[in-house]
Amino acid sequence: MSRLIALLLCVLAAMASAEARVRRYKWDVKYEFKSPDCYKKLVITINGRSPGPAILAQQGDTVVVEVTNGLETENLAIHWHGIRQIGSPWSDGTGGVTQCPILPGDTFTYRFIVDRAGTYLYHAHYGMQREAGLYGSIRVSPPDGVAEPFAYDYDKSIILNDWYHRSTYEQAAGLSSIPFGWVGEPQSLLIQGKGKFNCSKLAAPTLDPSACNATNPECSPYVLTVIPGKTYRLRISSATALSALGFQIEGHNMTIVEADGHYVEPIVAQNLFIYSGETYSVLIKIDQQPSRNYWITTNIVGRNATATTPPGLAVLNYYPNHPKRVPPTSPPTGPMWNDVAPRLAQSSAIKARHGYVHTPPLKSDRVIVFLNTQNKIDGYFRWSVNNVSFTLPRTPYLIALQENLHHAFDQQPPPDNPPNFTNYDIYHVANNTNATSRNAIYRLKFNSTVDIILQNANTMTANNSETHPWHLHGHDFWVLGYGTGKFDADNDSKKYNLANPIMKNTVPVHPYGWTALRFVADNPGVWLFHCHVESHFYMGMGVVFEEGVEKLGKLPSEIMGCGETRGFKRP
Ligand SMILES: *[C@@H]1O[C@H](CO)[C@@H](O)[C@H](O)[C@H]1NC(C)=O
Ligand SMILES: *[C@@H]1O[C@H](CO)[C@@H](O)[C@H](O)[C@H]1NC(C)=O
Ligand SMILES: *[C@@H]1O[C@H](CO)[C@@H](O)[C@H](O)[C@H]1NC(C)=O
Ligand SMILES: *[C@@H]1O[C@H](CO)[C@@H](O)[C@H](O)[C@H]1NC(C)=O
Ligand SMILES: *[C@@H]1O[C@H](CO)[C@@H](O)[C@H](O)[C@H]1NC(C)=O
Ligand SMILES: *[C@@H]1O[C@H](CO)[C@@H](O)[C@H](O)[C@H]1NC(C)=O
Ligand SMILES: *[C@@H]1O[C@H](CO)[C@@H](O)[C@H](O)[C@H]1NC(C)=O
Ligand SMILES: *[C@@H]1O[C@H](CO)[C@@H](O)[C@H](O)[C@H]1NC(C)=O
Ligand SMILES: *[C@@H]1O[C@H](CO)[C@@H](O)[C@H](O)[C@H]1NC(C)=O
Ligand SMILES: *[C@@H]1O[C@H](CO)[C@@H](O)[C@H](O)[C@H]1NC(C)=O
Ligand SMILES: *[C@@H]1O[C@H](CO)[C@@H](O)[C@H](O)[C@H]1NC(C)=O
Ligand SMILES: [Cu+2]
């Protein structure tokens, strides 16, 4: 009898899941005092949590998130990072691009379909709010009956982040001041929202003893309890404001199997390099000596944070050892921060998994070269792309284009090529005094194939070039190649990988290097493409693409109400 009931339940479950479901979430966003690294500060929480609640869905489901902005004095917008928003560009959550921000006290409903299984993120996309703590993970499972090309027993998500004690207001004001106030290296690194700042570093006499409390349970290390003999899928994502990271699990190799929602030809790695906005799945076997626990570590690469930011630590707890038992060893030190070669090698090694290759169009219709430079404009430090430093308009582009508001932004398109690129020396500090701040956009022919070459260069400091993780909204792109030095249009394009390139939504451009991407402009909407370093985007490191907006029907009035659309919002 009980067997019959079990069978019946199975059948009912199968019937229910065959239909795409609606996953509803109700989120209250507000400021609360939290101590994720023992230091107490104001943190933006969702339903009292940072990182926020994970979104769990199945391919084809509709996700509906009703967001209430309880920040009192601050606007808000939330971006669903890696979700292409096909047919719902107004739900992309980019303030100033696809919507007016959500006003304090208002409720806004995001509604979108998760159309591909994989690991994604969500985070704030207004001002520098992301680094105040509004971020979380999205996990989309494959449809029923569709097997994944690898096996595992358990599935866990781990979000990495870097953490600052100063408020985002202080940081933003510093970035837009003369003299310039740089945000500096983070105070700590968080693994699944937990880190450890050394409270003794604070000046004791001025310190309220509860303001940094090393025994606060909020900052006890994250513990991942595992069962010996099992295989775990760890979904690792990075929401960092600035840092590129190495990630390691002491004594355990990781097999990389997924990146940004696409299956990867398996790669065994001791260290995973992960850039802000990227997501990976790795498999680990719980096959080491079981009588002890092991360290999980993350450390900064690409910037010299040796004196400022200690590595982030968590514990891999082999059941049934006590979760609080400290591993008997020192944590692994991680890769050298200034060694670019292994980072470039790992980026280049990631290829689409055999049997899951989406082949790119063999030719492109348009090639756009984006030279990334640091420069000054009227004495202010900025980042620019082809001598244009991006600024957001008051009226979101999506609405301005749909409603023909020609004065809402600069109608003169920015250049497809850096001015005088042939003579540009990427190894020297350039005299880019003539860069300008603009809000112009690139308009792409609908359904055309576009190549993007990201070209890195020297910053305004001699012998220095940084790492920039570029993230494209509304699309996945093929990663055709990486190189060092100056991109050579004739020779380098002949070496593109057109056979099995991985598709991603976020990709690093390495110091003094280039990265070549291809995508098809087939998603009607307006899409931001920007450096995912929070302060770099704030300082102008981004561009906007428009494609096929004329194909969109009426826009929801909920996204309106700011700039020139003030009168458009109907009650
Ligand atoms: C914490 O900082 C204090 C003061 O700088 C230092 O003496 C101590 O060794 C540090 N502790 C750790 C665990 O790093
Ligand atoms: C620090 O945290 C512990 C554990 O929650 C608590 O017992 C203690 O009172 C706190 N100390 C201060 C000064 O707040
Ligand atoms: C990890 O991989 C390296 C290189 O393939 C190998 O030498 C090492 O033994 C592996 N370690 C474990 C714990 O499997
Ligand atoms: C990195 O910073 C530390 C501390 O500021 C300094 O001692 C070291 O020389 C720096 N390393 C390099 C390669 O610049
Ligand atoms: C920006 O413009 C200045 C002045 O016109 C020029 O010297 C410089 O090379 C340009 N920089 C870039 C990156 O194109
Ligand atoms: C291009 O750059 C070279 C070298 O910096 C300079 O001599 C030349 O005048 C520039 N040409 C233009 C059109 O700006
Ligand atoms: C940069 O160009 C400006 C003119 O726009 C000039 O006044 C200045 O001297 C130049 N600086 C250097 C270092 O070449
Ligand atoms: C910047 O533009 C001004 C005016 O067009 C010009 O006089 C100056 O030489 C330019 N500076 C550089 C570095 O090209
Ligand atoms: C887009 O382009 C592809 C390849 O040229 C073509 O097969 C397809 O029909 C086009 N789709 C639309 C909607 O124009
Ligand atoms: C930059 O590197 C070059 C070549 O390695 C060296 O000659 C020069 O002194 C360096 N400059 C600075 C400011 O470090
Ligand atoms: C590109 O290839 C051509 C022909 O093989 C060669 O002459 C040229 O030097 C190459 N350019 C670079 C920058 O390597
Ligand atoms: Cu950047």
Cβ–Cβ < 8 Å for 239, 123: yes
Cβ–Cβ < 8 Å for 222, 237: no
- Per-residue model confidence as pLDDT tens for the chain (571 residues): 344 444 444 444 444 455 779 999 999 999 999 999 999 999 999 999 999 999 999 999 999 999 999 999 999 999 999 999 999 999 999 999 999 999 999 999 999 999 999 999 999 999 999 999 999 999 999 999 999 999 999 999 999 999 999 999 999 999 999 999 999 999 999 999 999 999 999 877 677 878 999 999 999 999 999 999 999 999 999 999 999 999 999 999 999 999 999 999 999 999 999 999 999 999 999 999 999 999 999 999 999 999 999 999 999 999 999 999 999 999 999 999 999 999 999 999 999 999 999 999 999 999 999 999 999 999 999 999 999 999 999 999 999 999 999 999 999 999 999 988 999 999 999 877 678 999 999 999 999 999 999 999 999 999 999 999 999 999 999 999 999 999 999 999 999 999 999 999 999 999 999 999 999 999 999 999 999 999 999 999 999 999 999 999 999 999 999 999 887 765 4
Measured distance CA(144)–CA(183) in Å, rounded: 46
Measured distance CA(38)–CA(196) in Å, rounded: 6
CA of 420 to the centre of ligand 6 (A): 6
**CA 516 → CA 7, 405, 453, 475, distances in Å?**
52, 34, 5, 15
Measured distance CA(398)–CA(98) in Å, rounded: 5
Strand residues in 270-365 grouped as ranges (E): 271-274, 279-285, 294-301, 312-318
Residue nearest to atom 8 of ligand 5 (CA): 432
For a pocket test of ligand 3, which of 248, 253, 254, 283 has the largest count of ligand atoms closer than 8 A to its C-beta?
253
> Where are the chain's structural domains?
366-565
Cβ within 8 Å of residue 80, ≥6 positions away: 63, 91, 92, 93, 110, 112, 120, 122, 138
CA of 332 to the centre of ligand 3 (A): 14
Cβ–Cβ < 8 Å for 299, 245: yes
CA of 467 to the centre of ligand 12 (A): 6
Joined tokens for residue 535: 């302060």
Whether omega before 328 lies within 30 degrees of 0, making that bond cis, reads: no
For a pocket test of ligand 8, which of 431, 433, 460 has the largest count of ligand atoms closer than 8 A to its C-beta?
433
Label residues 420-449 b or e (16+ Cβ within 10 Å = b): ebeebebeebbebeebeebbbbbbbebeeb
The model's pTM: 0.93
**Nearest ligand to the C-alpha atom of residue 200:** 1
For a pocket test of ligand 6, which of 420, 426, 486 has the largest count of ligand atoms closer than 8 A to its C-beta?
420
For domain 366-565, the question of CATH label 1.20.1250.20 is answered with: no
Element (H, E) at 451: strand 449-455
Measured distance CA(231)–CA(237) in Å, rounded: 19
Ion ligand 12 — residues with CB under 5 Å? 468, 531, 533, 536
One DSSP character per residue, 472-496 reads: ESS--EEEEEEEESS--TTTGGGG-
Q: Which numbered atom of ligand 6 lies nearest the CA of 419?
A: 14
CA of 288 to the centre of ligand 9 (A): 52
Q: What letter would DSSP give residue 261? A: T
Sheet order of strands, 135-141 included: 55-58, 135-141, 118-124, 78-81
Residue closest to 161 by CA, chosen among 101, 103, 243: 243
Measured distance CA(447)–CA(449) in Å, rounded: 7
Task: Return the amino acid letter for 306.
Answer: T
Q: State whether residue 364 is helix, strand or coil.
A: coil
